[in-house]
Amino acid sequence: MLWQSYFIPGTGVLRNELGITDAATLRDAEYAIAGRRLHQLERGEVQTPRTFDDAHLAAIHQHLFQDCYAWAGQPRYVEVAKDGTVFARVPDEVVGQMWDAQQIHATIPWKELDREGFAQALGAYAARTNYSHPFREGNGRAAKLMYDQLAEDTEFRIDWDRVSPEARSATGSVAARDWTVLPRTTRLIAACSAPGTALTAAAVTASRVACSLVCSCCNVRASSLIAAPRECAAGIPLTQSATGASDPP
């Protein structure tokens, strides 16, 4: 019954503030409206607390989806899974993963990180945040903005067009089950694997979150699993990204 409470009775359409009863129409309207709200945050027209914790993420989510859902910014109270990815259980595991993410943020000297250090730190932080998946819908869009805001305190930016939403979702569940993939992620970003080196599926999947880094000095996309290393204009070793563009999650 808890699961059904999110839906308009007798339908598979989420209860919404727009009065829409068709799923496709709701999806299109939600993306358009949340997109406008996102631009407000990106342009600084609306401010949210930059504490990089559950309150920060909830404030972003509430602003993005306030026009669409009464539960915008509120934690989910049902279990969720997507495309085979099972996310954190409510409430304890969700709270615990966000607490871990907050501690990672608080203890990392973000302004001092080089590219490899930033990739490893962001990978650990994003994996826990993504796995927590604290809201019924809209987790990816809210989290992406928080990661972008985090990157503003470093020399790097994130190029989301270079990593698929499927890889981002899968990374959370893989890393939650096996944190040992995260150090490997950093090594994969720094350079290609040697010919014939065996890479586990978990390592490849986990690497893709951090495979979206961009060198801020010359806007050269960073990292690859298969191409030959090269250097950017500042002499920083980079590799051409192999992941393709995709629609937003």
Domain boundaries, the chain: 4-239
Instruction: Tell the residue number behind the tokens 């871990």, with chain if given.
Output: 100
Least confident of 57-61, 79-83, 145-149: 79-83
Nearest residue to 65 (alpha-carbon basis) of 91, 107, 26:
26
pTM for this entry: 0.72
The β-bridge relationship of strands 229-231 and 213-215 is unpaired
Assess whether pLDDT exceeds 80 at residue 218. no
Assess whether pLDDT exceeds 70 at residue 227. no
Report the sign of the C-alpha dihedral through residues 210, 105, 131, 245, in that order: negative
> How do residues 140-172 score in pLDDT, each as one tens digit?
999 999 999 998 988 888 777 766 566 555 554
Position 126 scores a pLDDT of 85
Position 133 scores a pLDDT of 94
Q: Average pLDDT, whole number, for the chain?
A: 73
What is the average pLDDT across 18-44?
97
Assess whether pLDDT exceeds 80 at residue 178. no
The CA distance from 117 to 114, in Å, is 5
The CA distance from 230 to 236, in Å, is 8
Position 114 scores a pLDDT of 82
- pLDDT > 90 in the chain, percent: 49
Least confident of 78-82, 126-130, 186-190: 186-190
CB proximity list for 108: less than 8 A, separation 6 or greater: 121, 125
Fold (CATH) for 4-239: Fic-like fold (1.10.3290)
What is the average pLDDT across 225-231?
29
Assess whether pLDDT exceeds 70 at residue 53. yes
Position 84 scores a pLDDT of 77
230 vs 59, more confident: 59
Assess whether pLDDT exceeds 50 at residue 123. yes
What is the average pLDDT across 37-64?
97
89 vs 127, more confident: 89
193 vs 205, more confident: 205
Assess whether pLDDT exceeds 90 at residue 102. yes
Position 124 scores a pLDDT of 82
Position 117 scores a pLDDT of 81
Burial of 145 (0-12, 13-18, 19+ CB in 10 A): buried
